[in-house]
Structure 1
Amino acid sequence: MSAPWIADNGDGTYRNPILYADWSDPDVIRSGDDFYLTASSFNRVPGLPVLHSTDLVNWRIAGHALHRLPAEHATPQPGCGVWAPSLRRHDGRFWICYPDPDHGIFLTTASDPAGPWTEPRLILAGRGLIDPCPLWDDDGRAYLVHAWARSRCGFNNRLSAYEMTPDLAEPLGPATPVVDGDAIPGCRTLEGPKWYRRDGWYWIFAPAGGVATGWQYALRSRDVFGPYEPRIVLAQGDTEVNGPHQGAWVRTPAGEDWFVHFQDLRAYGRVVHLQPMSWTGDGWPQLGDHGVPVAGHRKPMPGSGRPSAPVTSDTFPGGRPGAQWSWPANPGIGRVRPNPEGGLRLACRPGDDDLRRRPDVLGQRLPGPRLRAETGLRLDAPAGARAGLVVHGRTYAWIGLDHRSDGAYLTCRFAEAEGEAEQDAANPVAVPAGAGVRLAVTVTEPATVRFTAEIGGERWVCDPPFTATPGVWIGATLGLFAAGPGGHATFDRFLVSPLEDT
């Protein structure tokens, strides 16, 4: 089954975004003939996804570097957890530095980007330290640059750096201010630095101006600690690419330079773009088409890679969800039950009626602007149990089965502002006890959600449609859930496909 969005046009060119899903704050490196990408994951578990590509256009999920969050993430903590990471290859290993804005900067390493990754180690403690990036210089000395989160420490718009031990285990001295955004005319919310070395210059690529409204700087200096000279190298211009926000400079085996960055599309999340990169006569990088994003271009490595996108559909082999799924908090024991009959079996556990506050909603990123997702559901549980298909962010809506004291019902419900109780979006329909249903959802721009169901050969439409909203720093989530005093819900294969124009 084809994906809802494939960037590879199949003729040696690609279209942006290369990843039409919430792979936010991407960092990309090349290792040999392979490219690897990691992204922020916030409160999703597992976190720190690692994607692989051979051409910077077609990507697959290789695994995750982080399988649990700190203990306070037993329940969803929206907007917390893993913020913008950096990925590097050094001394025969892969290194990910990532921030938790409430704790500090952590390090994990691996010999293989698919894992296993080491247990995260706190290397810089403190609230508000975000967006770290290491640099190993030609003389073997190591450094780390990071930004600041106003929400945690009361200030932002500046970059600080440390000299570190070569293994990044600890700083060798106090922080040095390397860039003061307040001293750059028009600069605000400078963040997301990525550090590089080229031809005797130290380069920091960093966005400013805000996630949805900003631009991209390149800053250069002859000294690692500055002063750094800034220049705006990518901005929206007359395109529809708002932002464009933080990303990574990467070089192909042929020596061509490219830049990967994200664009905030609200409910669809922070989607990923790829820009050609060249150098001007005065030694500065030029991104996109003379500093504005391109809608498409020739592929960096024509002929490599099969048109594809990260997997979204799932047959749940062995009764387990694939790598595209995550929980909104640390997974508890027994959420997924063995199922010899095939499909995914979720336990119905008691808990909060508000699905935004439950840790057991299994979700994945919306994978394109127009899509259809469907699954079959059977609910084997007592009165008080419910299960279904949900789209959630700051608001949510779901369709599924609801077992009440007077029988089973096919139900479609929604919840608006945080804390507001669910409401029926349509009149519930009584169904035979033990009956299975097929559930479906379509998503069309601008994030318009329509639910339908089929039971006993009859189609049921939930009207009116629902408009999906983003979560806290993440896009809307497409998910499955089960809740109640006991029993379980069984979902058969989960199919995601492009929604054809009608």
Structure 2
Amino acid sequence: HAYAGSRAGIKSIIVVKQMNAKGDKVIDEGKLVYDGHELDPTIEGPKFYKRNGYYYIFAPGGGVSTGWQTILRSKNIYGPYERKVALDQGKTTINGPHQGAWVNTPSGEDWFLHFQDKNAYGRVVHLQPMKWVNNWPVIGIDKDGDGIGEPVLIHKKPTITKPVSIATPAESDEFNGLNLGLQWQWQANPQATWSFLNPTKGTLRLYAAKMPDSAKNLWDVPNLLLQKFPTEKFTVVTKLTFTPNTKIENEKAGLIVAGLSYANLSVKSKKDGNYLVYTTCKAADKGKAEKEETLIKLTSNTIYLSVNVSEGGKCQFSYSFDGDKFTNVKDVFIAEPGKWIGAKVGLFCVRDQVINDAGYADFDWFRIEK
């Protein structure tokens, strides 16, 4: 195993520890078998394999976004280990191709799964061909003959014994059932009082939960209902009907793109009615304050909110009163990743004070188009 510098106070080293026969308990203090400070800084995420009398450690080095896949081998489990780079970016556009696993198929083919850090789009998974040369793995395609593979974007698929249908994770949600789709993630452990799925009406009701007293912005708010960006270019549209508690003001409900910085388009209650507001917050994770712009006073409680995400994480928010003609917000927000994750898009409903009841927003559906 490796060490995370943020937690252990040291990194770039790999230790081998013996386990019991069941594999559920470490039984010794371990031995440091590799120091990557010079050649493989931030080496981590190791996988252990044995093949043709060699012990292999597959481990990513060089950091998340610009690293490479290091292979260590030895005929003794405690070393000394030889080192070789099996995969790096080379001349491709796939940065940091590393941190994954060797997969051997029933047909005898070798493949390698790894991720690529794409900033606001998170860490996307790639599948690379892999072959063995002189008992060293070469991952991807070695175009220049230097013994180091480069990742490929297009390649023949693995040989399979029967047809497999292509499937992608769920994205859109009509809110017609008793449970949210598996694509949804609350910002923190959910509470029953945050939401209500009503299959009779086909709506998701989000209640205006009070923001924590310590919250400086929505980064600190648990009741954000979010999902990962599904691809580089997509459009989200949702239809909501806002019913605030008329005894208070400043309840808000809307559509958000969340990360270390965030932006949202929402309906906000005030003493004299509801308003459409556009809010941004730079460096939200550091407690910075929001900037809110009031766009228009609303004459209807029902509105369509949308965000179009284009290449580079450019987010264009817009709104409509008929679901057909949309008006763009002037600002274009650039999405940012979260903490070790990509940006997310989703829904929220909050307030800043407590009385004996909460307002709510009924979301008819949440649709993603590509």
TM-score normalized by the length of structure 2: 0.89
The separation in 2 between residues aligned to 1:192 and 1:338, in whole angstroms, is 40
Identity %: 41
For 2:203, the equivalent position in structure 1 comes to 343
For 2:152, the equivalent position in structure 1 comes to 294
Is 2:290 the partner of 1:422? yes
Deviation of 1:234 (Å)? 0.2
The separation in 2 between residues aligned to 1:148 and 1:267, in whole angstroms, is 26
Deviation of 1:318 (Å)? 2.4
Say which SS state the counterpart of residue 238 (structure 1) adopts.
coil
Deviation of 1:205 (Å)? 0.7
Query: Which AA in structure 2 matches 1:219?
Result: L
Is 2:109 the partner of 1:256? yes
Is 2:96 the partner of 1:218? no
For 1:365, the equivalent position in structure 2 comes to 228
Q: How far does the alpha carbon of each residue in 1:187-215 deviate from its partner, in whole angstroms, 9 at most, with x for none? A: 21111101112222221110101111111
Within 5 Å, give how 1:10-49 maps onto structure 2: none
Change beyond 3 A, Cα 1:328–1:227 = farther
The separation in 2 between residues aligned to 1:228 and 1:317, in whole angstroms, is 57
The separation in 2 between residues aligned to 1:487 and 1:271, in whole angstroms, is 38
For 1:57, the equivalent position in structure 2 comes to none
- For the 8 Å contact 2:197–2:203, the answer to whether it is kept is no
Change beyond 3 A, Cα 1:301–1:437 = farther
The separation in 2 between residues aligned to 1:493 and 1:245, in whole angstroms, is 38
For 1:472, the equivalent position in structure 2 comes to 339
Query: Where in structure 1 are there 5+ consecutive unaligned residues?
Result: 1-145
Say which SS state the counterpart of residue 268 (structure 2) adopts.
strand
Within 5 Å, give how 1:2-401 maps onto structure 2: 146-182=1-37, 185-280=38-133, 282-290=134-142, 291-301=149-159, 304-339=163-198, 340-351=200-211, 352=215, 354-382=217-245, 383-401=249-267
- For the 8 Å contact 1:319–1:344, the answer to whether it is kept is no
For 2:317, the equivalent position in structure 1 comes to 451
Say which SS state the counterpart of residue 11 (structure 2) adopts.
coil
Deviation of 1:170 (Å)? 2.2
Deviation of 1:472 (Å)? 1.4
- For the 8 Å contact 2:19–2:26, the answer to whether it is kept is yes
For 1:494, the equivalent position in structure 2 comes to 366
The separation in 2 between residues aligned to 1:243 and 1:338, in whole angstroms, is 41
The separation in 2 between residues aligned to 1:447 and 1:319, in whole angstroms, is 33
Q: How far does the alpha carbon of each residue in 1:114-135 deviate from its partner, in whole angstroms, 9 at most, with x for none? A: xxxxxxxxxxxxxxxxxxxxxx
For 2:302, the equivalent position in structure 1 comes to 436
The separation in 2 between residues aligned to 1:191 and 1:258, in whole angstroms, is 20
- For the 8 Å contact 1:320–1:336, the answer to whether it is kept is no
The separation in 2 between residues aligned to 1:353 and 1:347, in whole angstroms, is 20
- For the 8 Å contact 1:220–1:230, the answer to whether it is kept is yes
Say which SS state the counterpart of residue 267 (structure 1) adopts.
helix
- For the 8 Å contact 1:348–1:487, the answer to whether it is kept is yes
Between 1 and 2, higher relative CO (CA 8 Å, sep ≥ 6) is seen in: 1
Say which SS state the counterpart of residue 331 (structure 2) adopts.
strand
Q: How far does the alpha carbon of each residue in 1:388-430 deviate from its partner, in whole angstroms, 9 at most, with x for none? A: 11001111001121111121112221111232222235x4211
- For the 8 Å contact 2:304–2:322, the answer to whether it is kept is no
Q: How far does the alpha carbon of each residue in 1:298-343 deviate from its partner, in whole angstroms, 9 at most, with x for none? A: 1113673223322211123424321111122222232222424212
Deviation of 1:218 (Å)? 1.2
Query: Which AA in structure 1 matches 2:194?
Result: R
Change beyond 3 A, Cα 1:317–1:199 = farther
Deviation of 1:288 (Å)? 0.5
The separation in 1 between residues aligned to 2:94 and 2:129, in whole angstroms, is 15
Say which SS state the counterpart of residue 172 (structure 1) adopts.
coil
TM-score normalized by the length of structure 1: 0.67
Query: Which AA in structure 1 matches 2:270?
Result: R
- For the 8 Å contact 2:33–2:78, the answer to whether it is kept is yes
The separation in 2 between residues aligned to 1:481 and 1:179, in whole angstroms, is 47
Change beyond 3 A, Cα 1:454–1:353 = farther
The separation in 1 between residues aligned to 2:299 and 2:156, in whole angstroms, is 56
Give the number of equivalent residue pairs: 348
Say which SS state the counterpart of residue 332 (structure 2) adopts.
strand
Q: Which of these two proteins has the greater Rg computed from alpha carbons?
A: 2
For 1:37, the equivalent position in structure 2 comes to none
The separation in 1 between residues aligned to 2:336 and 2:171, in whole angstroms, is 20
- Superposition CA RMSD, Å: 1.7
Say which SS state the counterpart of residue 170 (structure 1) adopts.
coil
- For the 8 Å contact 2:216–2:288, the answer to whether it is kept is no
